[in-house]
Amino acid sequence: MATEIKVPPLGESVTEGTVARWLKKVGDSVKIDETLIEFETDKVTVDVPSPATGVLSEISAPEGANVAVGGLLGVIAEGAAGAAAKPAAATAPAKVEAPKPAAAPAPAPAAASAATDLDRSGPAARKLVAENQLDATSIPATGKDGRLTKGDVLGAIATGTAAPAAAPAPAAPVVQAREAGPREQRVKMTRLRQRIAQRLKEAQNTAAMLTTFNEVDMTAIMAIREQYKDAFEKKHGVKLGFMSFFVKACIAGLKELPAVNAEISGDELIYKNYYDIGVAVGTESGLVVPVVRDADVMSFSDIEKQIGVYGKKARDGKLSIEELTGGTFTISNGGVYGSLMSTPILNPPQSAILGMHKTQKRPVAIGDKVEIRPMMYLALSYDHRIIDGREAVTFLVRVKENLEDPQRLLLDM
C-alpha cells in the first residue's frame, strides 16, 4: 500500500510554495513524522513530515518545483529499503608526466661578445670599464688575442670614442592571476525574497510615503539597564534590552495619535484599538517581521521574552504563518548592523514604521554647556494619505520624550 505525501495547509492567503530541499532520496527508509522536505512559502519555510513509515518510492515534485496546497510531493511505499548499491571502484589516477624544463634562451650576440672581451681583459681594464660604465665592444682592443688593455680603455676615454653601456631592460610587470572560478553566478530568488521585493515595491507604489527624523538621548535608559540588569535577569530569566522600552514608548504614542496605528482599506480608515507590534528580524533568507500581540498589556519582561523566542525561531527558520501575520505598527532596528540613519519602508497595510539606529556618543548642547551623550537617530516613515505631518512629528516627539524620561511610561504620561 502506498501513501501520498501532499502539501499541508499553509495558513490564510498562502496557496502554494516551492520545494526547497528534499532530505531523503528515492529508496531511503523513512519513519512517520520524520521531516522529508523543506517547503518554502513567501512567508516562512515549513518542514513537511512523513505521513507514514516505509520507503520513499517516488519524488513527484523535485527541488525548485512550485506546488499548490494539497498538491502531490511524493509517494511512500511499505517495506524496508533495499541494500545500498556498491560504490564504484575508484579509478586509478592517470600518470602525469612532469613537464620538461624549457631551454634557456641564447644570449644576444652583442651581449655575448661584450662578456667575452671583458673576460679576456686584465683586471685593470675591467675596473675602468665598470667605473666609467662603458660598452667594451665599442673600444678597439690591441692586446694579445684580442684582449682589451688598460691603455685601450684610457685612450677611448680621452678621445671620447667609447660608447656608454646600454641600460638594462626594465623588468616586465608581474600581473597577479585571478583566482579560477566563474565571474558571475545566477541564483534563483527564494519565494521569501520574491515576496519581500513585491511587498516593498507595493509600499512605494501605493503609499504616499514620507519620513521624519529626530534624535534621542539614551542616557536615562542606559542608566536604568545598568542599575537593574542583574536583578531583572535574576527575577525574570531574561536580559533587559532596549526593545521593550521602545515598544512601550511607541504604544504610548500610538494611544495618543491613533492615526499612526490605523490603516486604509478602500475608501475607509480602520482605527485599531489593539497594539500588535511587529519587530523586524534579519535572517539569512531575508527580513521577517514576527508580531508581539497585545503588547500594551504585556510587562517589560514579557516583551523581552517574546522577542527572544521570535529571534531564535527566526534564526532556525521555525516561525509560523500566524506569528508573521497581522501587526498594526512595526519597529525596525538597523543599529544592530551599525546603521547610523536610514529611511525604513512601510510594512503594508500598516501606515507607519519606526527605524532605530546605532547609539553613538556625540557632543550635544545641554543647557548652556556641551556634553558628550549617547545619542540615537530615530526615523518614522509614514503614509501621508492617512497621517498628517503634525501627527507624525508629534508621535516621534512623544517616543523621544518617553525614552529620555522612562518614568513617564510607568506613570502613563
CATH number for position 128: 4.10.320.10
Residue at 333 is within a domain: yes
Mean pLDDT of 356-366: 94
Examine residue 226 and state whether it is found in any structural domain, yes or no. yes
Shared domain check, 371 and 242? yes
Residue 120 in domain = yes
Domain membership flag for residue 286:
yes
Shared domain for 347 and 233, answered yes or no, is yes
If you search the block for the grid coordinates 684582449, which residue do you land on? 147
Half-sphere exposure of 26 (CA within 13 A, CB side): 9
Report the distance separating Cα 37 and Cα 63, nearest Å.
Answer: 9
d(CA 359, CA 362): 9
For the record, the C-alpha cell of 13 comes out as 492567503
The helix or strand, by DSSP H or E, that contains position 78, with its residue range, turns out to be none
Q: Does residue 268 form part of some domain? A: yes
Based on the domain organization, do 19 and 128 belong to the same domain? no
Q: What is the pLDDT of residues 189-228, one digit of tens each?
A: 877 778 778 888 888 888 899 999 999 999 999 999 999 9
pLDDT above 50 (res 26): yes
Tell whether 326 and 224 lie within a shared domain. yes
Q: How confident is the model at residue 90 (pLDDT cuts 50, 70, 90)?
A: very low
User: What are the grid coordinates assigned to 66, written together?
Assistant: 512550485
Over the range 192-201, which residues count as b (16 or more CB within 10 Å of their CB) and which as e?
beeebeeeee
How far apart are alpha carbons 73 and 77 in whole angstroms?
A: 14
For the chain, the domain total comes to 3
Q: How many CA atoms lie within 13 A of 363 on its CB side?
A: 3
183 belongs to a structural domain: no
CATH number of the structural domain spanning residue 275: 3.30.559.10
Looking at the predicted structure, is the pLDDT value of residue 30 above 80?
yes
Give the whole-angstrom CA distance, residue 379 versus residue 217: 14
Please indicate, yes or no, whether residues 41 and 125 belong to a single structural domain of this protein: no
pLDDT given at position 139:
76
What pairs with residue 216 in β-bridges?
A: 376
Q: Which residues contact 99 (CB under 8 A, 6 or more apart)?
A: none
Neighbouring CB atoms inside 10 A of 118's CB total 16
One-letter amino acid of 361: K
State the average pLDDT for the chain: 82
As a whole number of Å, the CA-based R_g of the chain is: 39
**Cβ-based burial of 244 (10 A; exposed 0-12, middle 13-18, buried ≥19):** buried
Q: What is the pLDDT of residues 265-324, one digit of tens each?
A: 989 999 999 999 999 887 776 778 899 999 999 999 999 999 999 988 888 878 888 888
Catalytic: which of 119, 230, 294, 384? 384
Q: What is the DSSP string of 155-192?
A: HHHHHT-PPBPPPPPPPPPPPPPPPSS-S----PPPHH
- Out of 152, 294, 388, 412, pick the active-site residue: 388
Is residue 138 assigned to a domain?
A: yes
State whether 9 and 154 are in the same domain. no
CA distance 225 to 292: 22
pLDDT at 184 over 80: yes
Same domain, yes or no: 154 and 272: no
**Same domain assignment for residues 18 and 72:** yes
Please tell me the predicted confidence (pLDDT) of residue 128: 74
Q: Given this model, what pLDDT does residue 95 score?
A: 47
Whether residue 263 is found in the same domain as residue 333: yes
Residue 228 lies in a domain: yes
* Domain ranges, residue 331: 208-411
The 10s digit of each residue's pLDDT in 44-70 is 778 888 888 888 888 888 888 888 888
Which pLDDT does position 91 carry in this prediction? Answer: 41
388 among known catalytic residues: yes
Residue 69 shares a structural domain with residue 116? no
Q: Is 267 a catalytic residue?
A: no
Same domain for 146 and 54:
no
Omega cis (within 30) before 349: yes
Tell me the CATH number at 72.
2.40.50.100
- Side by side, the strands of the sheet bearing 72-77 are 2-6, 72-77, 54-59, 29-30
H or E segment at 297? Answer: none
* CB neighbour burial string for 221-233, b if at least 16 within 10 angstroms, e if fewer: beeebeeeeeebe
pLDDT of residue 259: 95
For 108, 221, 257, 272, 275, the CA distances from 260, given in Å and listed in that order, are 85, 24, 6, 10, 11
User: The C-alpha cell of 366 is what?
Assistant: 545641554
- Same domain, yes or no, for 70 and 120? no
Report yes or no: 210 and 381 within 8 Å, Cβ to Cβ.
yes
